């Protein structure tokens, strides 16, 4: 597994693979890897990628003031061992100065779909995500890039950016991977311990409650969303930030009867902000 630390090194690797006729798959991450990330590598291979690159970069521009950029969990040695075991061909690990050298002043802003939900709670977050993902695409020149569906709004932002800027990269969403008790896997789960870890189940519990209702024939988006939100509101250690029903394709707000709906939730459990979602009827 090659380790590449600068944009020119990443570009040379990509150029060489393209010259050999490889189909390049990219799995962007911020490290602190878990089974969910390993599944993204698997999906890249399943979509026919013959050369898979993963990236590990904790991107400062997607963190707001007072957020967890400094304390975001980092463990390069463990991450590299996991990627090697998953069969990744190259890992891109640029430093902050490689990605944002002195004088950097260009950002990408996806407007519509970045608004509301996490975009409202984390101003500037999706501008940072879109900018770094564009830079990763330009360095790694992938044919396919795989992102987790847990970050549902992020996936929609990246799809819009890729389409609007004609990147010619196929964006693939990979299903959420859950712990046995339902908690969606996330690097930030490392912050949870004791009571917070148990309380964190309320997000998936609410979504599964909505799924049950949907299975029994309930189609009112408001009722389904209320069921998801109530599970979080009923957990004393959790503070609901949002529970919303959106169109599964466009992420436009939905109300009234919905034969297909994505329910997105965000909550703070103790000091840890968690998100989760479920799509019903698709
Ligand atoms: O989902 C993530 O880990 C990050 O937001 C991403 C897409 C790697 C951009 O920094």
Tell me the pLDDT tens digit for each residue of 6-37: 999 999 999 999 999 999 999 999 999 999 99
Give the span between the Cα atoms of 159 and 171, in whole angstroms.
6
In order of start, what are the domains of the chain with their CATH numbers?
2-174 (3.40.50.620), 187-280 (3.30.1300.10)
Neighbouring residues of 178: CB distance < 8 A, sequence distance ≥ 6: 184, 185, 204
Report residues whose beta carbon is within 6 angstroms of any ligand 1 atom: 28-30, 59, 62, 129, 132-133, 151, 154
Give the span between the Cα atoms of 85 and 104, in whole angstroms.
35
Calculate mean pLDDT across residues 274-282. 95
The residue annotated as part of the active site, out of 37, 104, 125, 143, is: 37
**Distance, CA 215 to ligand 1 centroid (Å)?**
33
Q: Is 37 a catalytic residue?
A: yes
pLDDT of residue 182: 98
**Distance, CA 148 to ligand 1 centroid (Å)?**
9
Structure tokens at 78: 């463990």
* Shortest-distance Cα residue to atom 6 of ligand 1: 29
Calculate mean pLDDT across residues 93-116. 98
Neighbouring residues of 61: CB distance < 8 A, sequence distance ≥ 6: 100, 107, 124, 127, 128, 131, 132
Phi, psi of 73 (to 5 degrees): -65, 130
The reply to whether the predicted model has a pTM over 0.75 is yes
Cβ proximity of 59 and 128 under 8 Å: yes
Give the span between the Cα atoms of 83 and 76, in whole angstroms.
10
Q: What is the pLDDT of residues 30-74, one digit of tens each?
A: 999 999 999 999 999 999 999 999 999 999 999 999 999 999 999
pLDDT of residue 141: 98
Which of 278, 238, 28, 254 lies closest to 150 in space, CA to CA? 278
* Residue 226 scores a pLDDT above 80: yes
Calculate mean pLDDT across residues 174-195. 97
pLDDT of residue 282: 72
Helix (H, G, I), strand (E, B), or coil: what is residue 132? helix
């Amino acid at each position: 597994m090659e380790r590449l630390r600068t944009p020119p090194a990443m570009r040379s690797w990509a150029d060489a693979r393209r010259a050999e006729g490889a189909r390049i798959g990219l799995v962007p991450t911020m490290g602190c890897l878990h089974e969910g990330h390993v599944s993204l590598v698997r999906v890249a291979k399943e979509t026919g990628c013959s050369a898979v690159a993963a990236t590990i970069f904790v991107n400062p521009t997607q963190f707001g003031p007072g957020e967890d950029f400094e304390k975001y969990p980092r463990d390069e040695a463990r991450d590299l061992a996991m990627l090697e075991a998953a069969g990744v061909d190259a890992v891109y690990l640029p430093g902050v100065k490689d990605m944002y050298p002195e004088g950097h002043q260009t950002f990408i802003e996806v407007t519509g779909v970045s608004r509301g939900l996490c975009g409202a709670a984390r101003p500037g977050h999706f501008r940072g995500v879109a900018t770094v993902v564009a830079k990763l695409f330009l360095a790694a020149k992938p044919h396919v890039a795989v992102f987790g569906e847990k970050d549902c709004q992020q996936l929609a932002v990246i799809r819009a950016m890729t389409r609007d800027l004609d990147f010619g990269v196929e964006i693939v969403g990979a299903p959420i991977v859950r712990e046995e008790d339902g908690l969606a896997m996330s690097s930030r789960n490392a912050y949870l311990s004791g009571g917070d870890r148990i309380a964190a189940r309320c997000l998936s519990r609410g979504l599964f409650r909505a799924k049950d209702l949907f299975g029994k024939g309930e189609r009112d988006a408001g009722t389904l969303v209320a069921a998801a939100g109530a599970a979080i509101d009923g957990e004393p250690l959790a503070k609901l930030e949002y529970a919303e029903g959106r169109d599964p394709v466009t992420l436009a707000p939905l109300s009234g009867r919905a034969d297909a709906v994505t329910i997105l939730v965000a909550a703070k459990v103790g000091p840890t902000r968690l998100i989760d979602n479920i799509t019903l009827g698709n």
